[in-house]
Structure 1
Amino acid sequence: MSEILKWMEASLGPGVALLGVVVARAQWHTNDVKLRLDSYDRRLRVYKSAVGMLDAIRSEILVRRGPAVHATNLLPLKDYQDLPEEVVSSFLNCLMEAPFLFDRSIANFMQGIDKDRRSIARLSRHLAGTFPLDTQGSRQLDRQSLRESEARIARAHEHIEAKFRRHLSLSRLQN
């Protein structure tokens, strides 16, 4: 019986140490999951902001071009409609955070959206104005550049979910 007590006394220290290691591991895992969830929330906010910006740009394009305006129509476009200020502000804030939350491809993708947004605003305002006859060739190039920017926005809208999917997968958070 005394040998059993000696064995229990000898194993008490390592048993407490092992219990401490188990508790520390559980706390580390909990903190790791919390960090991933916090990161997920910030990434989701960036994704929603990018989708909101693409939706606003596409809506502006549809309003400006109207149902009767086609890509080959040579009539002047309607005036550019400014995008909602809160959408632009949110997007620009998220654009600044993107390089820290995502890999370089997402940051470049969002910078491309911003570049096309500014290009569409500039070109559509320019084309909605009056032009002398000697700038007709320049006007045609501007119209082509505008259509290319609008097409890139449409492609970005089609592919945004696939671009962000890997970064927003909940299954990765549970590892």
Structure 2
Amino acid sequence: MMTAKCLAENAPTTSVGGVSMAGELPIWVEYVKALGTPSAALLAAAIAGYFAYRQWRTAQNKLKLDLFERRLAVHDAAVSLILKGTQNLTADDVAAFLKAVANARWLFKQPVVDFLKVLQNDALRDLRVQEMAIDEEPDPIKDALEFLTRLEGRATDRMRVLTMLMKDDLTIRH
């Protein structure tokens, strides 16, 4: 009776260059063993690269959103000032506008900044005129005519210019 030890000793062996080939795995298994670890590392690197790319894109979109929100705050302050008109303007309104547009030069192109300066100068002038008018005797007819003359088309024109100048800056592109 033959035992397992006896069978192993009598198994046919082949020899290549003096090295026994008994028990050797097929060649494709050797390739899988050799390339398995680098392939897994390459797959892990690709997945990590994808996540890094998505984080970069998310950060880029967040930056665009933050910039849009800051620009929109300046736009809203300008619209509020324009719609207030000249007669209802208060020092608080002008102060809120000045605070909102303080950093506009870093948010907008020069034509928008120049227009905001025009709005600022007009608002300050209108505020001074109102303060001087308090000391005078009120003349309702004269005041009404001055008001209509100054406002005739002014708010509409300014809104049109503001919209035209800021339309590219108030667009979110991805």
In the alignment of these two chains, the number of paired residues is 136
Are the equivalent residues in 1 in contact too, given 2:105–2:113 (CA < 8 A)? yes
- One-letter code of the match for 1:83? T
Mapping for residues 72-83 of structure 1, pairs under 5 Å: 81-83=88-90
- The percentage of counterpart residues that share the same residue type is 21
Structure-2 residue corresponding to 1:157: 159
TM-score between the two structures when normalised by the length of structure 1: 0.65
Q: What RMSD, in angstroms, separates the aligned Cα atoms of the two structures?
A: 2.8
Residue 124 of structure 1, CA deviation? 5.8
Counterpart Cα distance in 1 of 2:89 and 2:80: 14
Measured after TM superposition, the shift of residue 30 of structure 1 is 0.7
Structure 1 position 18 matched with structure 2 position 46: yes
Q: What is the rounded CA distance, in whole Å, between the counterparts of 2:156 and 2:127 in structure 1?
A: 15
Q: Is the 8 A contact 2:112 2:166 kept in 1?
A: yes
| Equivalent position amino acid for 2:164 in 1 | A
More helix by share: 1
Q: How does 1:48-63 map to 2 (within 5 A)?
A: 48-57=76-85, 60=87
Deviates more, 1:47-56 or 1:155-164: 155-164
Q: Which residue of structure 2 lines up, in the alignment, with residue 108 of structure 1? A: 114
Name structure 2 gaps, 5 residues minimum. 1-28, 138-145
Counterpart CA distance in 2 for 1:110 and 1:150 is: 20
Which is greater in Rg? Answer: 2
Unaligned residue ranges in structure 1 (runs of 5+): 61-80, 131-142
1:126 CA displacement: 5.3
Give the TM-score, by structure 2 length.
0.65
| Partner in structure 2 of residue 140 of structure 1 | none
Code of the residue aligned with 2:169 in structure 1: it is H
Question: Structure 1 runs of 4+ off > 3 angstroms?
Answer: 121-130, 147-154
Alignment of 1:77-156 (within 5 A): 81-83=88-90, 85=92, 87-123=93-129, 129=136, 154-156=156-158
* Distance across 2 between alignment mates of 1:115 and 1:109: 10
